Amino acid sequence: MTPIDPAKFRDINPGERLLMGPGPSDVPARVLQAMAAPCIGHLDPYFLATMNETQQLLRHLFQTGNALTMPVSATGSAGMEACFVNLVECGDEVVVA
């Protein structure tokens, strides 16, 4: 097998773009900077404290005392499904189009 010379390949860095489609969308510099921060685990005390704070803020935003108020890390469609399944109960009739 012939060795590959990495110098022959360009870096994946297309530069700044204005994305006008349904997705992916432009990411603000502030978000890119946050994404460059070290990752933390889901059981890390810092993560747990951040999650608790986020839950408190969501309860305030939605004006609820529900202890099961949770942020959803998913697509918009998954968020809408999470909302919908909390509005119907077992035995309810629903229309799916």
Question: What pLDDT does residue 61 have?
Answer: 96
Total-model pTM: 0.54
Question: What pLDDT does residue 24 have?
Answer: 81
Query: 45 preceded by cis ω (within 30°)?
Result: no
Provide the 8-state DSSP code for 89.
-
Check if the beta carbon of residue 58 is closer than 8 Å to that of residue 69.
yes
The one-letter amino acid code at 77 reads S
For 38-68, the pLDDT digits (tens) are 999 999 999 999 999 999 999 999 999 999 8
Residue % of the chain over a pLDDT of 90: 47
